[in-house]
Amino acid sequence: MRRAALAIGALALLGWPWAAPSYFVFLASLIVVNAIVAIGLNLLSGYTNQLSFGHAGFLAVGAYTAAIVATRWPGAPVVAPLVAAALVTAAVGLALGIPCLRLEGLYLAMATLAFGFVVVEAILNLDWLTRGNDGLRVPAARLGPWALAGDRERYYLVLLVGAVMVWAAVNLTRTRTGRALLAIRESEIAAQASGVHLARYRTLAFVISALYTGVAGGLFAFVVGFLSPDAFDVFLSVDFVAMIIVGGLGSVPGSVVGAAVLTVLHDSLAGFQNYRPLIFGAILIASMLFMPGGIASAFRFLKGDRV
């Protein structure tokens, strides 16, 4: 039953570019990118209770790294910019995560918010590298002799990477590390008493979260094809937080569903720019008040296992 559902889902995802018009293929790529960010953010916020309002900053670091690597080494296969994006962003995550160990709750939220602002300012000022306000054009991703120039090719690239990331995250939550992170969420003190090295795992969560967001940033650069600093403002960070709140904190499938719901909503409300934050805000409040576990817990409830 489960296998069959997975197989049908995989077939639907693979067949999507042949059934849907090209704009919806682009939208699907965007959903996968956002889903990777949401999973990364959820590993941090949902599993270790460290709320971040700065993930747009990590996304920007990943996107610009990938774009710059792809521009400087035009022949390099797409793996190179993506790995570079992952590593650089993870390093930034480590640099931010270690000092942030001392912070929690509101303070951490605010420090990460500040980080997001600083990244945008840095992009504006490092214009010899990032071309500042003019924006940076991203060359097409290359895989050996092929340039992945069309929406369809890019979709398959994003889908492949996304599938690996989802698989890795699901597995991670079932390992010793994943259980340690969950223990931290339930009670930091109890986790420590059971031998979980709090500082190490909290930092690890930060690094993994940054790495996920960096990979997503790299994919984002190729999907969108043009980067400018104003795309990475604080409202994007808020959107990411909204995705995991709506999808469900501490749930990998929830992150994916949340990302899909909010990305589609974001897109379908494009004609109502003025009302979009109004609706997003209402959704945030409503999910906090009436559905604190997000869509994931609603599913669990329907399946009958009360949490």
Partner 1 sequence: MTSAAVIHVVVSGLATGSIYALMAISLVIIYNATRTLNFAQGEMLMISTFVGWAVYQRLQLPLAVVMLVAIVAAALLAWAIERAIIRHAIAATHFDVLIITLGLSLMLRSAAGVAWTHDDFPFPSFFGDRPMAVGPVRLAPVSLGIIGASLALMAALWVLFTRTRLGRAMRAVAQNQRAARLMGISVERVYSASWVLAAVVGAIAGVLIAPVIFLSSKMGIVVINGFIAAVLGGFGSMPGAVVGGMLLGVIENLAPLYLPSSIKHSVPFILLIVILLIRPGGVVGRVARRKV
The pairing of strands 146-148 and 136-137 is unpaired
Please list every residue from 187 through 226 that binds partner 1, using CB under 8 A.
Answer: 189
C-beta separation of 232 from 120 below 8 A: yes
Q: Should residue 95 be labelled a site residue for partner 1 when binding is judged by CB under 8 A? A: no
Please list every residue from 163 through 192 that binds partner 1, using CB under 8 A.
Answer: 189
Smallest distance, Å, CB 230 to partner 1? Answer: 14
Smallest distance, Å, CB 125 to partner 1? Answer: 4
Residues 6+ apart with CB under 8 A from 109: 51, 52, 53
Q: Should residue 110 be labelled a site residue for partner 1 when binding is judged by CB under 8 A? A: yes
Q: What stretch of H or E contains 146?
A: strand 146-148
In the bound state with partner 1, the residue whose beta carbon lies nearer, of 122 and 168, is: 122
DSSP alpha helices (H): ranges in the chain?
2-19, 22-48, 55-72, 79-100, 105-125, 127-130, 151-173, 176-186, 188-193, 198-224, 234-247, 252-268, 276-290, 294-303
Pick one of 61, 183, 238, 261: the residue that binds partner 1 (CB under 8 A).
238
Which range touches partner 1 (CB under 8 A), out of 114-122, 173-181, 223-231, 259-267?
Answer: 114-122
In the bound state with partner 1, the residue whose beta carbon lies nearer, of 149 and 284, is: 284
x/- track of binding to partner 1 for residues 119-148 (CB under 8 A): --xx--x-----------------------
Q: Please name every residue paired with 146 in a beta bridge, in sequence order, or none if there are none.
A: 143
Which of 164, 177, 173, 199 has its CA nearest to residue 86?
164
In the bound state with partner 1, the residue whose beta carbon lies nearer, of 147 and 279, is: 279
Separation between Cα atoms, residue 233 and residue 249, nearest integer Å: 23
Q: Should residue 275 be labelled a site residue for partner 1 when binding is judged by CB under 8 A? A: yes
Interface contacts to partner 1, rule CB under 8 A: 49, 51, 99, 102-103, 105-107, 109-111, 113-115, 117-118, 121-122, 125, 189, 238, 241, 245, 274-278, 280-285, 288-289, 292
